[in-house]
Amino acid sequence: MLDPKMLREKADVLRRNVVLRKATVDIDHLLVLDERRLALTRTLEELRRERNEVAEMMKMVSVEERPALIARGKRLKEALGAQEEEYAAVQDEWRGLFTRLPNLTHPNTPEGDSDRENQEVRCVGEIRPLPFTPRSHVELAQRHDLIDFVRGAKVSGAKFYFLKGKLALLEQALITYALDMIHREGYEVLTTPDVAKEAVLVGKGFLPRGPEKQVYYVEEQDLALVGTSEITVLGYHMDEVLAAEELPKRYVAFSHCFRTEAGAYGRESYGLYRVHQFSKVEMFAFVEPEQSEAVHLEFLRLQELFWKSLEIPYRVVDCCTGDLGGSDYRRYDIEAWMWGKNEGKGGWGEVTSTSNCIDYQARGLQIKYEAKEGSKDYVHTLNGTVVATPRALLAILENYQQDDGTILIPEVLKRYCGFEKIG
């Protein structure tokens, strides 16, 4: 959530930002609602002051004077009820629109409408042409009986799956390796709940019930399955004031993730690339404002360290305005090379992202820090995926495949999974 003062003081900045971020919020209508909300607040304060004044006068007046005061009190009660009802309606509409305002945008973020206009920062690793026709991970999985999409769909529906045999073990190796690597960097390890209250999702910047909602709800409960542990780790310190000397607070969390992928039709979704459930290891940090840009680069460095160690070609892109999520101030993605894209010609596919959300999420969930002199301000929050296992498995299968159909295991994972190849 943005600072409401910005709406009154920098409406033009928000108008431009809404256009750049492809949001659909009518700033002029929001300003009208905001003025009405503030006017109603002043009216309610005056009516409550007058009601309290009447209550005090009732203690001091004579019996003869009481009927007039009682009648006045009744009129005030009716007026308060009507004004409170109107205020609640205006406040609900205002909040519904205000929470749809995207975060501010870093001045160096490239402008653009979609991920096609993301700017490449660097490309790491050599894409070596294979001396045979590349197979997609779906073909390789069928050959070695590693994934069962048919039974996954039978049990749970389309885009659910069973991982089998050595691929299931390789997934656990990726998780353990990722946690081990980031823990050695001094991050506190968490395993998080797989559900969160809607207020936490909204504070994160999700619009859970929007037309492209990504959330599975738990029926008749104020709970949803999380699409990322970013949600639960963010909520870990909601409504808290952290001491400045504790910051930065760095976590690395494991969770299962669930996404409906509503509105995703037409996007590339072959095999494991876009699924409804997956496992993920995620970094998260709560920092002072002046620390956030440095920690953002730290997250990117650790992500690159992970993907370099797998020896899979990747590139880093600076995400453009039209590709940023609602809570992102700035985001970098890492895209790995995948041979199964573009009908076997290969292409880049997103495998991680890292976002600096500045104080946007902290405002929504009231997470502050207290400086030594006693002043309080909102923390900045950052997140960064170390590994989302389906796309990492996809990239390993496709980049480590051999002419005979076997798949080698990246050197760094061998001691975690206990075997050197599949097939």
Show which residues are catalytic: 259, 274, 350, 353, 391
Of 350, 326, 361, the C-alpha closest to 22 is 326
Contacts of 241 (CB under 8 A, 6+ apart): 368, 369, 370, 376
d(CA 300, CA 303): 5
Q: How far is CA 24 from CA 15, 29, 137, in A?
A: 10, 12, 38
d(CA 44, CA 22): 37
d(CA 85, CA 51): 17
d(CA 228, CA 148): 24
Could you give the 3-state DSSP secondary structure of residue 33?
A: helix
Of 331, 299, 381, 321, the C-alpha closest to 23 is 321
Count of other CB atoms within 10 angstroms of residue 242: 18
Q: Are strands 249-258 and 277-287 parallel, antiparallel or unpaired?
A: antiparallel
CA 392 to chain centre: 20
